[in-house]
Chain A
Amino acid sequence: MPGRTVTPWLLVTPALLFLTLVFLYPVVKLLLNSFSVGDTFGLGNYTSFFGDRFNLEVLWRTLRVALVVTLVSAVVCYPAAYGIQSVPPRYRGLVTALIIVPLMTSPVARTYAWLVLLGQTGIVNTALLRSGLVQEPVRILYTEWAVYIGMAQLFIPLMLLTLISAMENLPRDVVPAARSLGATSLQSFTRVILPLTREGLVVGGTLVFTGCITAYVTPALLGGARVQLLATLLYQKAGVTVDYAAASVISVVMLALTLTVAGVLRGRGGRT
């Protein structure tokens, strides 16, 4: 019956057509634009972008922030995800809700909280001054530290939820078994928990890393003009100085970074 073979195509065609016309085509066109100088093919946009020390610094800083935040969230979230087993069952729903609420909240509102906390007259500086640890307000806002803090708060929920669900799949008694056989808690982590939850770690790590590379609000509000990342540089080039050549190069670099990391996910995490 011809109807059986045509039906699925009728179902997927509208979405595919829509995405091709208003998403894939414009994005590919933007990416290809980066390879044209005037009307001819050339790598001029790339040599001039990568020839600028400032741009290289921004690229390096973006990678550093993404890497540090990914590592820190893994180090924090492993024990935290393990700890949920000790939470009384009737409070586990509440704990999960507390992790999800930030995810569902406007990133502008979430980042704004750090402006209140980290500013010159913010709570952190007030506490430092009162305790006598410092004599005058410390500059935290518009430094790389502020970006680390903001990004960590933004993306830790993703790592935490991924690791919690990875640990739910752990057989309940593997850790006590390892301990009773003489493993230290560090050994039972590196030899038992880590290998069994590696897929979750790779998925969570990818979400955090790509999230850091593409996030705009956090570096814009907490880093400002002093601590630019690729996302804020892209906005500046395209929105402020109208340098579309540089903007298209940054677009290619950002996409290449996220696709590389997502590709690593597919290779390493595989079976998810």
Chain B
Amino acid sequence: MNSSRVPIIILYLTLVFLVGPFLVVFIAAFGGEPTLKFPPTSFSTQWFTKVFEVESFRSSFLTSLGLGLMSTSLALALGIPVAYALSRFRLPGAVVIQTVLTSPALVPGLVVGLALLQYFINLGGSVYPSLLAAHTALLLPYVVRVVSTSLINLKPDIEEAAISLGASRLTAFRLVVLPNIRGGVAAAAVLAFITSFDQVAVSLFLTGPGVSTLPISMLTFMEYNYDPTIAALSTLLIIFSIGLVLVFERVLGLSRYV
């Protein structure tokens, strides 16, 4: 039947719309012209070299990497205990706690950035701690949600058994619960890191002279440069996320957590 093929054709066209632009960026990145042109008429790899020569990219990449790792660790340290408490205890006011914890996901990123900018300026603080605080707050809802999912899927029986055999709750958590939810924790860490690394809205107001994240540096660079350097950098970032998705889809089944 002919009409039964329509849905799958729409699916494939949608995939082309989602992924096709990436191919265009790949091709544009290898263009030889000094200004971005598509399709390019000559071949060059100079823009990939230039990515590593631009000082603002090098420093902001390191900032984004450090910020991503630190905010992810902080969000895990704060979020895992919450997920555990919410899944294993009946807390009065659990709804309120849950609402507070999901609130960073509900408030538009630009609003968070602006609020923290004004707050930390009044406190006389510097830029970096406010960026770290904003990113950690943003990641907490993701961490709590993903870790909670794995905790709910883990029956409490085995840790109860450990406790009744004399383990403290902390020991039971460390030796019994944590090894069983490490897939969820790893998935939470990956999602959190990516969310921080790609973040624009929250960071926009909180970057200033001296401190900038990679996405913000890219936006600034694009205002004044029309050569394919950004295409080369975007290519590297897209390859990085493809690799990440492939590895974690294979190891953790990431699609269950997105």
Binds A, one of B49-57, B154-162, B179-187, B214-222: B214-222
Task: Give Cα A221–Cα B214 distance, bound, in whole angstroms.
Answer: 16
Q: Bound complex: CA of A123 vs CA of B39, how far in Å? A: 7
Asked whether, in the complex, the Cβ of B241 is within 8 Å of the Cβ of A104, the reply is yes
B 84-127 to A, binary, CB cutoff 8 A, 1 in contact else 0: 11101101000001001101101111111011111100000000
Q: Which of A95, A109, A122, A185 has the most CB of B within 10 A?
A: A109
Residues of A near B222 (CB, < 8 A) are: 112, 221
Whether A23 lies near B103 (C-beta < 8 A) is yes
What range describes how many residues of A lie at the interface?
35 or more
Say whether chain B's binding surface is mostly helix, strand, loop, or mixed: helix
- Which A residues are CB-close (under 8 A) to B110? 214, 216, 231, 234-235, 251, 254
Counting CB contacts under 8 A, is B178 at the interface?
Answer: no
Cα-based distance from A103 to B249 in the complex (angstroms):
14
Binds B, one of A10-18, A35-43, A194-202: A10-18
A121 and B119 contacting across the interface, CB-CB below 8 Å: no
- Chain B: number of interface residues, binned into ranges: 35 or more
CB atoms of A113 and B108 under 8 A apart: no
Q: Are A15 and B198 closer than 8 Å at their CB atoms?
A: no
Interface string of A202-224 (1 = CB under 8 A from B): 00000000000111110011000
Contacts of A106 in B (CB 8 A): 197-198, 214-215, 218, 234, 237, 241
The verdict on A11 contacting B82 (CB below 8 Å), with A22-B116, A30-B114, A244-B118 known, is: yes
* Chain A residues whose CB sits within 8 angstroms of the CB of B104 once the complex forms: 19, 23
- Binding-face segment, A44-52, A138-146, A152-160: A152-160
Question: Is residue B251 contacting chain A, with contact meaning CB distance below 8 A?
Answer: no
CA A105 – CA B97 in complex, angstroms?
A: 31
How far does the Cβ of B253 sit from chain A's closest Cβ, in whole Å?
Answer: 10
B19: CB under 8 A from chain A?
yes
Residue ID in chain B nearest A122 by CB atoms: B38
Question: Knowing A8-B85, A235-B110 touch, does A116 contact B17 (C-beta < 8 A)?
Answer: no
Q: Give Cα A235 to B219, complex, Å.
A: 14
Interface contact A8-B91, CB-CB below 8 Å = yes
**A108 and B234 form a contact (CB under 8 A):** yes
Mark contacts of A1-30 with chain B using CB atoms, 8 A cut-off: 1 yes-contact digit, 0 otherwise.
000000111011011101110111111011
Give B15's nearest chain A residue, CB to CB.
A98
List of B residues within 8 angstroms of A100 by Cβ: 245, 249, 254-255, 258
Taking a contact as CB atoms under 8 Å apart, the answer to whether A82 and B7 are in contact is: yes
Q: How far is the CB of B170 from chain A (nearest CB, A)?
A: 10
User: Across the interface, do A83 and B7 meet the contact criterion of CB distance under 8 Å?
Assistant: yes
| B78 with A27: CB separation less than 8 A | no
Which residues from chain B contact A109 at a C-beta distance below 8 Å? 25, 218, 233-234, 237-238
Report the minimum CB–CB distance from A97 to chain B (whole Å). Answer: 6
Name the one of B4, B11, B238 contacting A105, with C-beta atoms under 8 angstroms: B238
Which chain A residue shows the least CB distance to B218?
Answer: A108
Mark interface residues in B118-159 (1 if CB within 8 Å of A CB, else 0): 110000000000000110110010001000000000000000
Q: Which residues of A contact B24 (CB under 8 A)?
A: 113, 116-117, 123
Are A19 and B100 touching (Cβ within 8 A)?
A: yes
Top 4 nearest A-B pairs (CB, nearest first) are A83-B7, A113-B21, A109-B234, A83-B11
Other than the known A9-B85, A22-B136, A97-B246, what 17 A-B pairs have Cβ atoms closer than 8 Å? Answer: A7-B85, A11-B85, A16-B97, A33-B118, A84-B8, A86-B5, A86-B7, A86-B8, A96-B249, A98-B15, A103-B258, A104-B198, A105-B198, A117-B24, A251-B108, A255-B111, A259-B106
